[in-house]
Structure 1
Amino acid sequence: MADRLIIFDCDGVLVDSEPLAAEAYERVYRKHGMDGVGADIIAQCIGMKQADILVRIQELTGHRFPDHAHDDIWAETKRLFTEKLVETEGLRHFLDGLGAERCVASSSSIERINHSLEITGLLAFFGDAIFSSSMVKRGKPAPDIFLYAAERMGADPSRCAVIEDSPLGVEGAVAAGMTAIGYTGGGHTYAGHGEKLMSRGAVVACATWNAVRDELTARGFLGR
């Protein structure tokens, strides 16, 4: 059983993917004759799995994405990721010195998570400890993915810290009985981002990985 477990969201935390993902959605919707799906709309969907994103976009814009074209979203996203995706600033140094059990718990598909981590050279830091909302019944803000990850890793939820950039992810971590640390170092951050994460239950919001390390250490998740 893991004494302490650090759970990482993927998009916007490990990899700076959210601006690229928003661009992919905008391009694919436009390809299918639906304008008005820009970064402001996608920003309201961060932290959701794709099925929930499509529902939310329809609620916000009235655009119903055609069922037969769902694969187009990943195809465009994968192309942009392959060309441009990078890890978040300072992450590699943080992971190099991380002396704790760790895993990934993301709303993205396993294929997308693995592709993101492979092309950024981060996959070796996590091995098979990668969990997707596709493995559970409910996506974030439900706690399912976090509880599933803890169970698979042999960790008590109360001894888990979750690094999250989305309000929905923070809500899910808190609902799972875990310590949520907000991360605002991605390219999609905005004024009031940290305050919003803390309003959903994050104990702190950090803009750098050095700050994340300090918080994990102070809260007993890492040795001094």
Structure 2
Amino acid sequence: MKPQLVIFDNDGVLVDSEPTAHRVLSEYLTELGFPFTLEESYRHFLGNAARNIHTVVADRYGGTLPADFTARCHERVFTAFKQGLDAVQGADTVLTELRRRGIPYCLASSSDHAWIDLTLDRTGLRPLLPPGVVFSAQDVGGVGKPAPDLFLHAAASFGTEPRDCLVVEDSPNGVRAAKAAGMPVVGYTALTPASRLIGATSFITRLTGILDHLDHDR
């Protein structure tokens, strides 16, 4: 059955921000005396809220990050984004086609609105994702994925039942959040192997594959 609402994650799904963000994050953590490789950063932090970085560092090293770590890390990432950031290949094609077909869509990210706004503005996706269809964990009291709150809020904003939504996610926490919300979820495997997206109902290797998925549901 055709979904009544398609919900996209942002980082790694619509915006190709993950390589830059994780390079900066791993370099900053290493600089602070808590070494993480780029691959380890992906494995531990992809799709996690910023506060979880503190927990992982404490568990792995028994150390404590500076109180201003999140703010300073964001500053570094924002600076890197301003030097160059691209949309995921096919993102504009997918959103334009959904609009043409009359299928509502939105973005739901654990990142704050400042982060989301910067990525959409830098990649040129803003015209396809105006403020009314962009949701942040800030909108639900800062509760990010894997809690279902953000996805449920997005669905409620469109007056859509969770079972009638379709989520596109590339992180384990995102998939968990969608499943907890009672929503079917397509796993996007460009950065995360399908074996880590446990609970996804199907998988795509390129973003435009979501259009093929919708064609099969007609």
Please give the residue correspondences for 1:141-160 in structure 2 after superposition, counting only pairs within 5 Å.
141-160=146-165
Secondary structure of residue in 1 paired with 2:208:
helix
**Corresponding position of 1:130:** 134
CA distance in 2, matches of 1:168, 1:219: 25
2:106–2:134 contact (8 Å) kept in structure 1? yes
**Corresponding position of 1:211:** 209
TM-score under structure 2 length normalisation: 0.89
Answering whether residue 59 of structure 2 is matched by residue 54 of structure 1, we say no
Aligned residues: 210
Q: CA deviation at 1:79?
A: 1.0
Please give the residue correspondences for 1:31-180 in structure 2 after superposition, counting only pairs within 5 Å.
31=31, 33-43=32-42, 44-98=44-98, 99=101, 100-128=103-131, 129-137=133-141, 138-180=143-185
Give the stretch that moved more between structures: 135-144 or 174-183: 135-144
CA distance in 2, matches of 1:59, 1:39: 18
CA distance in 1, matches of 2:30, 2:9: 29
Secondary structure of residue in 1 paired with 2:11:
coil
**Corresponding position of 1:202:** 200
Cα deviation, 1:165-195, whole Å, max 9, x if unaligned, reads: 001101110110111001123xxx25xx023
Secondary structure of residue in 2 paired with 1:209:
coil
Please, what is the CA RMSD of the aligned residues? 1.7
Unaligned runs of 5+ in 2: none
Give the stretch that moved more between structures: 112-121 or 85-94: 85-94
CA distance in 2, matches of 1:205, 1:61: 35
**Corresponding position of 1:25:** 25
Return the letter of the residue paired with 2:212.
D
Give the stretch that moved more between structures: 64-73 or 158-167: 64-73
Cα deviation, 1:143-184, whole Å, max 9, x if unaligned, reads: 111001111122111110000000110111011011100112
Secondary structure of residue in 1 paired with 2:68:
helix
CA distance in 2, matches of 1:216, 1:195: 23
Return the letter of the residue paired with 1:13.
V
2:92–2:128 contact (8 Å) kept in structure 1? no
TM-score under structure 1 length normalisation: 0.87
Q: CA deviation at 1:11?
A: 0.5
Q: CA deviation at 1:47?
A: 0.9
2:13–2:207 contact (8 Å) kept in structure 1? no
CA distance in 2, matches of 1:134, 1:84: 26
Q: CA deviation at 1:54?
A: 2.5
Return the letter of the residue paired with 1:136.
V
CA distance in 1, matches of 2:165, 2:203: 17
Secondary structure of residue in 2 paired with 1:201:
coil
Cα deviation, 1:7-60, whole Å, max 9, x if unaligned, reads: 0000110011111111121232344x3241222332212111111232223323
Secondary structure of residue in 1 paired with 2:36:
coil
Percent of pairs with identical residues: 33
Secondary structure of residue in 2 paired with 1:161:
strand
